[in-house]
Amino acid sequence: MTRPVVGIIGNQYLINDQYPAHAGGTMNSEAVAGVSGCMPLLIPADPRFVSVAELMATCDGFVLTGGRPNVHPEEYGEAATAAHGDFDRARDAIVLPLVRACVETGQPFLGICRGFQEVNVAMGGSLYPEIRDLPGRDNHRMPPDGTLEEKFALRHKVTFTENGPFHALMGSQSVMTNTLHGQGIKRPGARVVIDGLAPDGTPEATYIKDAPGFTLAVQWHPEWDAANDPVSRPLFRAFGEAVRAWASGRRATPVLKSA
């Protein structure tokens, strides 16, 4: 039986600092194939090679992955500074309109880290260039040393809105997550509902109000150990269910209703 296709947004890299490549973390494919039950398809996020219309016709849903480059601040009306880090304008050019198109049609997506930030910017919101520089905020960046297990270790609590969609999905109002990001939501975009917060007030979970389809996004990395993690597993399973519903007849599945 043919599995639904999930487009995994790739990032641009240089192999050996010379050879241009599009790449995606293996753990994204593992989560999509093993937990969501869908076929992962790596997308070269560059308008020279693909269009939004082609992607939506080819794929049944999308994972908007994390990535080291950040959304360019010109996309939310601000000037670039050294604090904003590196950029991937080609990915901006594909993913931001893709998000808006999926919100419109109900085609499901799951935003992760940079993808979480892309959803906010696509809907008209803005970002802080560096969370750890804000008064009262913690350092949410990846630990500089250690094994992958140590880098992706659970580091802080996320508290969801009572009876909101994440509360209903997780079966708990509070969960533990990893944290590997520098930027974060400054001004929420239109219809962006912040449904989960870190202890320092940093937004960690969102959905799009009144969207016809699955629009959940998280600031942490649920793709890590998704088959075993009690927070990641229900998220990728629910996403897979939404993708299968779409594939069965281009039928949108709304964000989970309140418990």
CATH of residue 23's domain is 3.40.50.880
For residues 206 and 194, the answer to whether their CB atoms sit within 8 Å is yes
Express as a percent the part of the chain with pLDDT over 70: 98
Domain assignment present for residue 254? The answer is: no
* Within-domain flag for 255: no
184-187 and 19-23 strand pairing: unpaired
Q: State the average pLDDT over residues 24-48.
A: 97
pLDDT band, residue 160 (cuts 50/70/90) = very high
Q: How far apart are CA 5 and CA 29, in angstroms?
A: 11
Q: Are residues 215 and 193 in contact, defined by beta-carbon separation less than 8 angstroms?
A: no
| pLDDT value, residue 256 | 64
Examine residue 256 and state whether it is found in any structural domain, yes or no: no
* Dihedral (CA of 71, 86, 59, 3) sign: negative
Range of the domain at 99: 5-249
pLDDT interval class at 259 (50, 70, 90):
very low
The 10s digit of each residue's pLDDT in 44-76 is: 999 999 999 999 999 999 999 998 889 999 999
Mean pLDDT of 80-103: 92
259 within a domain of the structure (yes/no): no
Collect all residues with Cβ–Cβ distance below 8 Å to 82 and sequence separation of at least 6.
none
The domain total for the chain is: 1
For residue 20, being part of any structural domain is answered with: yes
Q: Which helix (H) or strand (E) holds 246?
A: helix 232-249
- Which pTM does this prediction carry? 0.94
- Tell me the average pLDDT of the chain: 93
